[in-house]
Amino acid sequence: MSITIKVPAVGESITEVTVGQWFKNDGDFVEMDEVLCELESDKATFELTAEAAGILHTKAEEGDSLEIGAVICEIDPDAKEEAASGKPEAEKSTPSETKSASPKQTGEVKEMRVPTVGESITEVTLATWLKEDGDYVALDDIIAEVDSDKATFELPAEASGILRQVAQEGDTLEIGGLICKIEETDGAPSGEAETSSAAEAPENTAKGNSGKETYASGHASPAAAKILAEKGIASNAVAGTGKDGRITKEDALKAEQSKPAAAASKSAVADKSKPAEQPEAPQKTGTRGSRREKMTSLRKTISRRLVSVKNETAMLTTFNEVNMKPIMDLRKQYKDKFKERYEVNLGFMSFFTKAACIALQEWPAVNAQIDGNEIVYHDFCDVSIAVSSPKGLVVPVIRNAEQLSFAEIEKEVVRLAIKAREGKLTIDEMTGGTFTLTNGGIFGSMMSTPIINAPQAAILGMHNIVERPMAVNGEVKILPMMYLALSYDHRIIDGRESVSFLVRVKELLEDPSRLLLGI
């Protein structure tokens, strides 16, 4: 008797879901707890697993909208023995069977689930599989890279054996979600078995183990999708050479956009087919293409947090300007000796960090935060610095910046910026800041109103340096000026504290000797 699988309840306010992607085809044999498809709601994506082993009979297509409780598929468990008896004959030529023929399987299967990677992280995205489905993996081998909204993590194998992938590249998984299985073995496969499987692999590159096209056929990996989008090439125009026909990064790099001449010839044919009496439309040059890209976990988190800050805080911005000539003269005089001694450049960030720390200690409300009905004041300065990384804006933290020297601050800035651009920042390095510095001036920004980095109470925005005529002691002088912007939460910081803080920062920067003396 067939087992009916219905759309499960996935949340109190969710009444319907959409079938996103079938991982198994109608008529396939499925194991119990094997992922069958993805269900998308207006809030999250869920996986539908098999409730028994047997032959799958789908009742809905990809893109169909189903109400909670609607029948989505059926599984015939009575066909289990028949399917199993015919299975070895069909799988003799598969790479996974060849690989598993050498090592002796213990019969135990290790399920690997998404680990807990941080208190505030509830889901991750599978970025890249570093091992193929059916590969032999040893204990602690890195098998995949996982992206969260804050950092990228490596996933090590929890056992030695044959890898069976459950999730696909680009899938979003909740913490604790099943990501793969490892069929444990007593030993590693022989070199001959690996060579045999490698020789047979090209025959199945565009098709699955059964010789049929799978959901991976023509699907681009995240890296390949990005390259194709930059080239303006559709994924269906590229032949994939990866596993199951997946489009790899190499395929995307080799792909070339169709020649403009082809489009021009089509246009010419279309013009000839028009009646002679009709006026010709002006020819348009260039392309008018557009593309859609799924938001990354990091971008969704940034969006959610920024909207939350705007809605939940009484944010206000105050401005001032600072004469950067004293600092620029000081850097010009000592930058070579500074680099020779400390092996790091003397930048503006150390001056602003030191100035901010002194001002924060004098005006502690700017260094505080709200926790429920209480205000938490900090006697230390953990300064967050906004860094633009390839995946989006990240904000690593310089711990106890008030105790660091100019050289120590510069070295820490360089270290954190490099890790941010390589996507190797840890959760601890991005949490717990008490105040934030952001430098939009490196991109040419003249003035802006930065958004507070919650739960902090304030953020200082730096901008580009522009030479402007200024009145100095009754004379007009051309000076390098910078606008400063302090955005703050008016719930705990009054105008007196915010303006006084910014004036204090201005005094310290315009007379750098004050930074050394602390006056």
**Active-site residue flag, 463:** no
Q: Which domain holds residue 56?
A: 1-90
Would you say residue 369 has pLDDT above 90? yes
Residue where a domain terminates, one of 73, 90, 107: 90
Region 333-344: what's the mean pLDDT? 92
Q: Which two tokens stand for residue 150?
A: 């804050």
* Average pLDDT across the chain, whole number: 80
C-beta of residue 431 within 8 angstroms of C-beta of residue 462: no
pLDDT band at 491 (very low <50, low <70, confident <90, very high): very high
pLDDT of 127 reads 83
Which of 26, 379, 494, 511 does the annotation list as catalytic? 494
Residue 142 lies inside a defined structural domain of this protein:
no
Q: Burial-class residue 509 by CB neighbours within 10 Å (0-12, 13-18, 19+).
A: buried
Residue 206 in domain: no
Picking from 49-63, 90-104, 245-259, 306-320, which range would have the lowest pLDDT averaged per residue? Answer: 90-104
Is the model's pLDDT at 274 over the cut of 60?
no
Whether the predicted pLDDT of 263 surpasses 50 = no
> Where does the pLDDT of residue 405 fall: very low under 50, low under 70, confident under 90, or very high at 90 and above?
very high
Distance between CA atoms of residues 466 and 447, nearest Å: 11
Indicate whether 169 belongs to any domain. no
Name which of 48, 29, 30, 25 is nearest 38 in CA terms: 48
- Of all residues in the chain, the percent with pLDDT exceeding 90 is 30
**What is the C-alpha separation between 272 and 266, in angstroms, rounded?**
10
Instruction: Give CA separation, 204 vs 28, 211, 237, 265, 514, in Å.
Output: 18, 7, 20, 37, 70
371 is catalytic: no
pLDDT tens-place string over residues 166-206:
998 888 888 888 999 998 887 776 654 444 444 444 444 44
Choice between 151 and 458, residue whose per-residue pLDDT is larger: 458
pTM greater than the 0.75 cutoff = no
Q: Is residue 279 part of a domain?
A: no
Residue that finishes a domain, picked among 90, 114, 140: 90
Which span out of 102-111, 239-248, 337-346 was modeled with the highest average pLDDT? 337-346
* pLDDT band, very low/low/confident/very high, at 271 (cuts 50, 70, 90): low
Picking from 90, 115, 139, the residue at the C-terminal end of a domain is 90
Q: How buried is 41 (Cβ within 10 angstroms: 0-12 exposed, 13-18 middle, 19+ buried)?
A: middle
- pLDDT-based confidence at 11, cuts 50/70/90? low
Report the distance separating Cα 223 and Cα 247, nearest Å.
10
The residue from 28, 329, 490, 511 that is catalytic is 490
Q: What is the CATH number of the domain that holds 448?
A: 3.30.559.10
Q: How many domains does the chain have?
A: 2
Instruction: Answer yes or no: is 233 within a domain.
Output: no
Q: Helices (H) and strands (E) in the chain — how many of each?
A: 12, 26
For residue 492, what pLDDT is reported? Answer: 93
